[in-house]
Each structure stands twice: as structure tokens, then as C-alpha cells.
Amino acid sequence: MSDEIQFMDEDEDIDDITEQHENWKVLIVDDEKEIHMVTTHVLKEFHFKDRGIDFFHAYSGEEAKEVLKENQDIALIFLDVVMETDDAGFKLIEWVRNFLENKFIRIVLRTGQPGLAPEKEVILNYDIDDYRAKTELTAVRLFTTTVASLRAYAIMMDQEENRRTLEALVKTSWSIGSSRTADNFLKGLMPQISSFMSLGENSFLSEVERVGDKNVLKAVMGTGRFKKITGDVAEYLTSHEHEIVDKALFDGHHVFEDQVVVGVVLHSDPQNSRLLFIESHEKIKSLDLSVLKIFLSSLDSAYDNIKLSYEVEIAHIDQINMQKSLLDRLNNVISIRSKETAGHVRRVAECSVLLAKYYGCSKDYIEIFKTASPMHDIGKIGVPDSILLKPGKLTLQERAIINTHAQLGRDMFEGDESALIKMIRDVAGTHHERWDGKGYPDGLKGEDIPLAGRITSICDVFDALLSERPYKEALPLDYVVDILKKGRGSHFDPNLLDLFMDHLDEMSEIFRTYK
């Protein structure tokens, strides 16, 4: 196995080096010391997103396992195929994906004997980013491969952070909504917000009282320099903070700046009006800001629902209504990002509910389905705009990322076993499963796929094919019908598809109505 990496004379441009405390972790797994030396030499000046590289070295698959056990945040592995055994590299890939359950780490296979495993077969059968003969890896090729792999890793890690943030928001919404009194509702605000974003060093929640020509902010709770204040918090604000607070109270609206958020909570109820002041350690991330806006804007209606529920003891109805409102707001985030999404969501929901009625589903099932069906693409909130809104054809890597939206959508609603949330999980997580078991994310087959997912799958594909997208033209109805029929018994539940075709005119009318 003494094939040498040939680094030919090629021009390459590398960004200016910037000091950064936290570097990318890259593991080189190869039984040839020369490969380690050459790789580290070529990439020693490498920087991407103002971060350099910390190299880790292993000379066999078993050594690599020990390194990976101790460093779960390694971003990229350069992996030899043939080491202590002819398939040592392949076995390590399976160990990383299945035993460690690490789907984030990027893997680039390098081999001195490409004939042992054809490239097409390897790319299809293993979750890797690239497969190269060692003789192909010039200095520039190694540089571009490293950039592409680290970029994919960064996108996936951002996506995971987004998923956790949104998951926390969903759990927070249910928790806030379960409060039975105004006092508990208000006391829960800051702890709940802190579950999906850092409150920063200095934050407070205060009652608002107008005295003469000024606002008195009586402290309810605080952090940092506001932690021990029991009187008027306004006395401890800087002049700039005063301006922000006064603007929020005068306008009756939330104010968002780079590192400061002022939320006017319950301004519709003068006796319970509160002001929430949040100072972040650093510039607030765009996703945190979007989530916080949704959260704050829902508090007034949530509080009103809680009071009504408490007074007339119809808690179940009120909580369901609040959940629907919050779910609509989550869907609106996607609609804002993608112009075609809002109409698509509405049409798929209408068609799905109609198909459920003709299938003979109960009134209770259909009522829940009305709320759950529009959430089928909620996981796309975690897909980067650069991929979701790309006008051209997606690369295999980009397609893999966008395909994670089904799993993301399901994960967002884990932990709650109410009928509505369970159905949302079914719709979001299984609408890309196939009747023959070749779908994703779980490869479910036949009636193992929940009914809600099977119904939504047909309506989703029907609408997508009829619709124009940045990357494709709309298809004519007769062509769409042919495609659906060809998917009978393979892509779609045959009985449901037959029922859909029996009512094709009504389904087509829904598309025209909400186009």
C-alpha cells in the first residue's frame, strides 16, 4: 500500500489567516506515515470561517475508534480504505454511523487501490462525502475537498442547533400554556425563555406602573446587575436602555436590537402589564430572534386563554386553541422564507382532510388532522435558505440535507403524547415514506406507515408536481395523473390512491382555488 499522493504544481488562493481560539478537528486515519505528513503539511495554513485545523492521527481502524470516543466533535475524517484489513475503512464508517450514532462527522475516503471497491458502489452504500484515489489528491483538490466537507459539517451543526432551539420553543409553549393562574404564567416567562436562548448577564421582568410623567418598573425577577433590585428598575438603566424601554412602552410593541430585546408583555391588560428586558452576551442569532418574536407575540393571546380557561374551566379547549395558534406561527416562519410554501401547505392540508373524509375517518380524527396536516413540512425551518431557496438543481449533499426535514419535523414534537402532537409527528415524520419501504427517514413499509403520513404523501406529491418551483416548471394535470398512477403500490398506498383518483376533480379544484 505504498501509493504516493502526487501534489502537482497548481495555483491556490487561501484566505488571510485570522487567529481563532477554536479550530476544526480533523482526523487522519491511514497506515502510512507519509500520508499523515503530507496532508498536515498542505493544510497547515488552512483557514475556513476564521478557524484553523487541529489534526488528530490514527494508523488503524482500531486506533481511530479510540480517538473518536474521546473526541466526539471531530468534524472531518480523511480515511484510508485498506489498513489492517482490506475493508478496515468501511468497517470504521459503519462503526461511526451505527455505533457512535454520529451523523454529523464528514468522511472523505482515500485509497491507493481504487479497483477493490468501485467509486459508484461506495458512494451509494456508505454515508461519505467523497471517495478519491490517493493519486487524484492534488494540493488544490485537498483544499477544496476540505472546505466542502467542513462547510457541510457547519451547516449540519447549525441545523442541529436550530432543531434544538425549535424543540425547546415547542416544549416551552406547552409548559407556559399549562399555567392555570396569571401569577404562575408570569413567573414562568424568564425560565422558559432561557431554555431556548441565553438571557445574557443582565435581564429582568418588571411590573409597569405609570406615575405622573414617568414609568415605574417594579422588579419581579432579574439576573446580573438587576438580580437584587427590589424597587424601581428604571433607576438602574443606562440612558440608551431608557430610550429603548420608553419606546417599547410608548408604542406598545416589542423592540429588538442587536444585543437587547425589550418585550411589552400583556399590554392589553393594564392591571397585569409587564416589561421583559433581555440583554444577550453577544449579537442575538437570527433564529433565536425569530423564535423569540413568535414567543413574545403569542403571550397576550396565551394569557387571555389561560384566564378564560381558569374562569370557566375549559382548559382542554383553550390549550388546544393556543397550540393551534403557535403551530400556525411556526408555519408562518417557513411561509415568510419561501413564497410558494404558504399556498402549498394550505392546498396539501385541504386535499388531505378531504381524502380522510372519503376514507371514512372519524370526525375526531379529521378535526385533529385539520391542525396536524399543515405541519407536514415544518422541519424545513431547520434547512438553510441557501438550500431551501436554491433556484437550480440540488447537489447530492444538498439533497441529503433537505431530506432531513422529515426527521427534524418529527423530532421537534417529541415528548408530548397528546393526540394532536402524536399526529403532527406522524405527518411531519412519515409523509416521505413509501408504500414499498424505499422512502425516508425510516424506510417504513405498507401499513406500518401511519395513515396520516400515507394520506399526506399523495396530496403532497400531487401539489408539488402541479406547482411551479424555482428549479422546475409546473406539469400538466394529465401528466401528473400518469405519474401518480405509476406510483400505485410502490410509492403510494394503492387503496388511498384509487380513492384520490375517484375524487380527482375535487382535488384539482382545491389546487385552483388556493393557487
Over residues 359-389, the pLDDT tens digits come to: 999 998 998 898 888 888 888 888 888 887 7
In this predicted structure, what is the pLDDT of residue 247? 84
380 catalytic? Reply is yes
**Amino acid at site 182:** A
pLDDT tens-digit profile of 57-70?
999 999 999 999 99
How far is 429 from 418, CA to CA, in rounded Å?
16
Which range among 130-134, 135-139, 196-200, 419-423 has the greatest average pLDDT?
419-423
In this predicted structure, what is the pLDDT of residue 119? 56
CATH number at residue 256: 3.30.450.40
Task: State the residue range of the domain holding 442.
Answer: 338-513
Count of alpha carbons within 13 Å of 323, Cβ hemisphere only? 23
Question: Bridge partners of 275?
Answer: 206, 264
Model pTM score: 0.43
Residues 307 and 395 in one domain: no
In this predicted structure, what is the pLDDT of residue 323? 57
The better pLDDT of the pair 338, 261 is held by 261
The better pLDDT of the pair 370, 214 is held by 370
* 468 burial via Cβ count (<10 Å: 0-12, 13-18, 19+): exposed
Residues 408 and 354 in one domain: yes
Active-site annotation holder among 91, 363, 380, 390 = 380
The better pLDDT of the pair 134, 92 is held by 92
Residues 505 and 388 in one domain: yes
How far is 200 from 108, CA to CA, in rounded Å?
39
CATH number at residue 367: 1.10.3210.10
Instruction: Please answer whether residues 203 and 190 qualify as being in contact, where contact means their C-beta atoms are separated by less than 8 angstroms.
Output: yes
Domain boundary among 116, 137, 158: 137
User: Is it the case that residue 418 has pLDDT exceeding 90?
Assistant: no
Residues 266 and 360 in one domain: no
In this predicted structure, what is the pLDDT of residue 2? 39
In a domain, 329, yes or no: no
Residues 367 and 409 in one domain: yes
Could you tell me the three cell numbers for 214?
414617568
User: Is it the case that residue 20 has pLDDT exceeding 50?
Assistant: no
User: Is it the case that residue 505 has pLDDT exceeding 90?
Assistant: yes
In a domain, 128, yes or no: yes
Residues 358 and 270 in one domain: no
Query: What is the arithmetic mean of pLDDT over 475-483?
Result: 95
How far is 411 from 169, CA to CA, in rounded Å?
12
Longest dimension (CA), the chain: 86
- The total of structural domains in the chain comes to 3
* 117 burial via Cβ count (<10 Å: 0-12, 13-18, 19+): buried
**H or E stretch at 111:** strand 106-111
CATH number at residue 106: 3.40.50.2300
Confidence of residue 171 (pLDDT cuts 50, 70, 90): low
Residues 127 and 216 in one domain: no
Residues 131 and 268 in one domain: no
How far is 259 from 201, CA to CA, in rounded Å?
11
Residues 92 and 174 in one domain: no
In a domain, 325, yes or no: no
User: Is it the case that residue 311 has pLDDT exceeding 70?
Assistant: no
